[in-house]
Structure 1
Amino acid sequence: MPLLSIKEIYRKNEQLPHHTEANIYKYLNYNTEFLTGVKVQQTGNFIRINPSYNDPDYMCYDCEFRDDYISSFYFEDTKAYEDVRVLDKTIIKDKFVSGNELITTTTYNYNNAIHLQPTSKSTVFSDGVQSDTQFKYAHEKGNQLMISKNMIGIPLETTTTQTIGGVTKTLGKTETIYPTALPTSQTGTLVLPLSSVSYDLQNNAPTADITYDKYDSKGNLLQYTGKDWVSTTIIWGYNQTQPIAKITGAKLSDISQSLIDSIVSASDTDAAAAPGNDETALLNALDAFRKDPTLANYQVTTYSYDPLIGVRSITPPSGIREVYIYDAANRLKEIREDNQFGKILKEFKYNYKN
């Protein structure tokens, strides 16, 4: 995979770069040997018979037997070798037109050959300040369920420290909690995050920053609760592929299933239409959902899409709709207010140099 090596930043109307950023990447090769099976080869016969021996009754009077059957075979482990190239160090050099140069060096460590993910990284800045981050994965945390699903490259715990003048202090520790057994009430039979927690630096007590309360059968998040204990519900449409409504302050159980079904059905119908179709029916259904009296105490945002292109509209709690318009190449062209002929809120230009 190609990586950025040099970036030059210019100021307007200047011929020389204001500063140049050079990126240097250094790699290590990890060679791993592992067993793939056993090679078995027969080296001799368990029963040795003289070629000239003839015994029509097969009594084998002139036969020689080995001491045991196993000794007539040769066994050898078969091995394979894996060569993995991992990032060892990055050096970023910022050189300014004034002659000043800032150097930032980051070194990566890989202390578990099973998953070969960085278990720590250390960044040293030009002023001598050092920042260290440690990562723990399923193997380090002992999550056998994730290991069995080969979900071994997801960082589960991150600890960050900073060293200034030889004094090191912990800046933060966070952890993402996954199931250790299935099924669960939140994720069903899927291995998905249950919560994200941070730790008090004084007593190491965990505090939930967010809990993921409910997923659907495809792994879409239906409900989450923040550290302020405010729940948010997400309704998925377009055949469970896109979020079509976000209701802040409500749990999934607070919303009538018939209300949910009405906008899901309308979005599924819209999903089958050609891009750029008239989506009035869907927008009417979403507006009716947003204005329903049972949701009056919640903040409701609705969305519509052209599934293969992008979002077509976002209607926030204020009711002032943003409409997204694309060009012939399906690039975002404009964002307008209320409809495709409304006031331009943002405009995007794509000017390519020959």
Structure 2
Amino acid sequence: MTLGEYTLSFPIWVEFGNGTSERAGEVIDAKGWESALLVTDQGIRAAGILDGVEASLEAAGIEYAVYDEVEPNPTTEMVTDALETLTDGGFDVVVAVGGGSVIDTAKCATLLKTNDGPLPEYEVNTPEDVTAGSIENHTHPLITIPTTAGTGSEVDYWAVITAPDREFKMAIGQPPLYPDGPYLGADVSLVDPELTASLPPRQTAATGFDAFSHALENHVAAGAPELVKPYTRHVMGLVPEHLPDAYETGAMEAREQLLFGSHMAGFCENFAGFGAIHSLAEVTGGMYPEIPHGEAIAVFTPPVMRYNLEEYPA
């Protein structure tokens, strides 16, 4: 058995647990930042999920503004809009509170704040693209606070943004290529299960299956190092065990387990790749942005796995 090759670099400070989102103000103050732009969507703001984060910023004396125009399957135009708000306000740090769409939008806005060029210049389609070093400067400071248990975007080095003119979802990203090197992602992630409590059943199911698929594809990806296998195995067992309860009853213990699984799968994404399931789902999402990503993943998983089992039974 080959162990596979990998480079382990994980510069993101992570805090996991109930109530951690309410430490945002304390963390920002400790870093010496004085102002923040909260990036989110209107549904999260209307549901009051932002309240605890805002209260923590106010308690720490942090000046802030809210950008809540992110929509599902975010586009390059949304990134540009968020970037303009960030630049015009001169904020020291971005705080992304939301699911993958919100976090990916914030990631790309912080990328373009410190690196020149339009977003497509940072698109990655091959391993060579990933290691090309297109991101030359450290991105603008970013704190991620996930509100769904699915994407793992709070701790990975990737973002997916739709280019409407191409009807195509671009993969944007870069891991650190050398010690203390620039990467696409957060400086700090506050992972708070309580923020997933109000997630509706349909979204709970879709995002939960997305987390499962991350672990599945990372586990069987060509060249996936043995480093990730214990984590991916654990997540593939954890999601089926707890997703039904989270979907049917919304039990917090089940939601906590799902967020942990999503978080671990997101970590594994930094060291292994995806396959046909995500490729097909992303193409579909680019052409039909009204289709939720997790639901597209669920549709394509059975036929892809049947094909893989028939063609590569080992």
TM-score of the pair, normalised by structure 2: 0.25
Larger strand fraction of residues: 1
TM-score of the pair, normalised by structure 1: 0.23
Higher relative contact order (CA 8 A, sep 6+): 2
* Bigger Rg, structure 1 or 2: 1
